Amino acid sequence: MNAEANSAWAKDKAHVLHPYTDFASFHDEGSQVITGADGMHVTDTDGRKFIDAIAGLWCVNIGHGRREMAEAIADQVMKMQYYNPFGHSTNEPAAELGAWLANHAPGSLNHVYYTCGGSTANDAAIRLVHYYFTMRGDHRKKKIISRNNAYHGATYVAAELTGIHGTKNSFDKVGENFIHHVSAADMFAKPEGMSEQAYCDHLVQEFETRIEQLGPDNCAAFIAEPIMGAGGVLVAPRGYHRRMWEVCKRHGMLYIADEVVTAFGRLGHWFASEDVFDHQPDILVCAKGITSGYIPLGATLISDEIYDVISRPQCEGGVFSMGLTYFGHPVACRAALENVAIIEREGLLSHVQEISDYFQSSLRTLAEDRHVGDVRGIGLMAAIDLMEAPEEKRPFAASFKASDRVFNACLSQGSIVRPVGDRIILSPPLIIEKDHVDQLTGHLRNALTYLR
């Protein structure tokens, strides 16, 4: 085998299927093998160093290459790396993390079901919703309402909850009878001249109408990301989440907050639902930042009220039969405990509260570019919409691949951003400092000139 054929990229091309990828052409479009990571940066096989402006994939909250994480993980592997989590056995990190989550999560979210990531945690949420209503004897309450443009994951049910156009191409439908979608809360799509308040009223009314159509006795839960992430960092009108939650309460529905992206500091708080959006979900789903991506872990938190029902003795139906080999994995839970200790020790929540104004206002200076339709965001989440003619809301032709051009131009200058549709998405590690923001904004400003 020559050196080229023996390279990681050649082996990848021969053997590895990538997510969200056109298998026919992916490997022809250039190679990038990341071999090193430290703080805000990653490096590739050619020794090029990049600002990681997407924190891996919305997840490396404490930054890359933390020795404390390596030590905690190694220590747990040496002590006890795995044991069967079913039935009566537990492990110390899973129990400790359960207590930590209960102490820090909103309201009475005092009980946790562990999974392997965000998709499986959303699947678990839906299974728990159905289990809860069955145990209560509400056998009809099965329908779940999600939103267009939402992203909730890649397993079959999580993908059905997802409302992003194009993600379901050529997959069988599994959720058609029980998963429904209402409009996204997208201020950019707000009709011209309509006030923010009126737009919020309109979305809430649409939700109420859909519940009436489906029958309140059939509607079990509503699921929403506090900020739509992959759907384009869509910030809802003021008061939206609280009002949707109130509608759920009126109709005996559960509110599921998908905080896979927003929890663990991205908006400057452990969890965004209560501290930023003023409501207490019945179920809260988290993953990603829970371990800062050092190891996979997801967690579905449920309220005391749900727990009281599903833990009744001799429940009809027996056991909650969703079993995962890696439930409460001791190494992952230990990594999560070290991760939150780092966030606490280094004051990263208040750092995000301070730096995010600078981050957001610096990015907003890009709105002056003639091909930028909108720059928006909150905390350390942001999106830049690219348009051929923003004043007419005219998009670029798909074949122009605008966001890929900006991505490549940023890459060549030393920043990794995320192209999604005609958008650039940014979600840097929480340890970002002003000089990183300045460099990143500079790279983006230059990159936009490649759209001329």
Binding site for ligand PLP (CB under 6 A): 117-119, 122, 151-154, 225, 229-230, 258, 260-261, 287
Instruction: Yes or no: say if 342 and 62 are a contact pair by the CB < 8 Å rule.
Output: yes
Using the minimum distance from each CB to ligand PLP, give the nearer residue, 151 or 447. Answer: 151
State the DSSP H helix or E strand holding residue 428, giving kind and residue range, or none if neither. Answer: none
**For ligand PLP, the closer CB: 235 or 260:** 260
Query: In DSSP terms, which residues pair with 384 in a beta bridge?
Result: 375, 424
Task: Determine how many CB atoms are found less than 10 A away from the CB of residue 54.
Answer: 19
Which amino acid makes up residue 431?
I
Rank residues 241 and 371 by Cβ distance to ligand PLP and give the closer one.
241
Tell me the residue nearest to ligand PLP as measured from the CB.
Answer: 118
Nearest residue (CB) to ligand PLP, 91 versus 119: 119
- Shortest distance, position 154 Cβ to ligand PLP, whole Å: 6
Extended strands (E) in 248-319: 254-258, 283-286, 298-302
Is residue 325 a contact partner of residue 115, using CB atoms and an 8 Å limit?
no
Nearer to ligand PLP, 179 or 372 (CB): 179
- 151/231 Cα distance (integer angstroms): 6
Shortest distance (Å) from residue 16 CB to ligand PLP? 17
Residue among 285 and 372 whose Cβ is closer to ligand PLP: 285
Minimum distance from CB of 151 to ligand PLP (Å)? 5
Mention every residue, 6+ apart, whose C-beta is less than 8 A from residue 128: 113, 283, 300, 302, 306, 310, 320
Contact partners, residue 237, CB within 8 Å, separation at least 6: 185, 187, 190, 196, 197, 199, 200, 203
The two structure tokens encoding residue 334? 């230990």
Name the residue among 449, 395, 350 with its Cα closest to residue 188: 395
With CA atoms as reference, report the closest residue to 336 among 56, 63, 72, 58: 72
Residue 87 C-beta: closest distance to ligand PLP, Å: 26
Question: Smallest distance from the beta carbon of 111 to ligand PLP, in angstroms?
Answer: 20
Question: What whole-number distance in Å separates Cα of residue 273 and Cα of residue 262?
Answer: 9
HEC sequence for 133-168: HHHHCCCCCCEEEEECCCCCCCCHHHHHHCCCCCCC
Tell the smallest beta-carbon distance from residue 33 to ligand PLP (Å). 21
CB of 228 to ligand PLP, least distance (A): 8
Q: Which is nearer to ligand PLP, 114 or 151 (CB)?
A: 151
Residue number with CB closer to ligand PLP (223 or 337)? 223
CA distance 237 to 436: 30
d(CA 379, CA 161): 25
CA atoms of 225 and 281, how far apart (whole Å): 11
Q: Helix and strand tally (H, E) in the chain?
A: 14, 15
The answer to whether residues 324 and 309 touch, using CB atoms and an 8 Å cutoff, is no
Residue 297 C-beta: closest distance to ligand PLP, Å: 9
* CB of 260 or CB of 437, closer to ligand PLP: 260
Q: Are 384 and 419 in contact (CB under 8 A)?
A: no
Nearer to ligand PLP by Cβ, of 263 and 348: the residue is 263
Amino acid letter, residue 252: G
Closer residue to ligand PLP, CB minimum distance, 226 or 237: 226
- Min dist. Cβ of residue 183 to ligand PLP (A): 18
Q: How far is the CB of 284 from ligand PLP (least distance, A)?
A: 12
SS3 369: coil
Smallest gap from Cβ 117 to ligand PLP, in A, equals 3
In contact, 178 and 143? CB cutoff 8 Å: yes
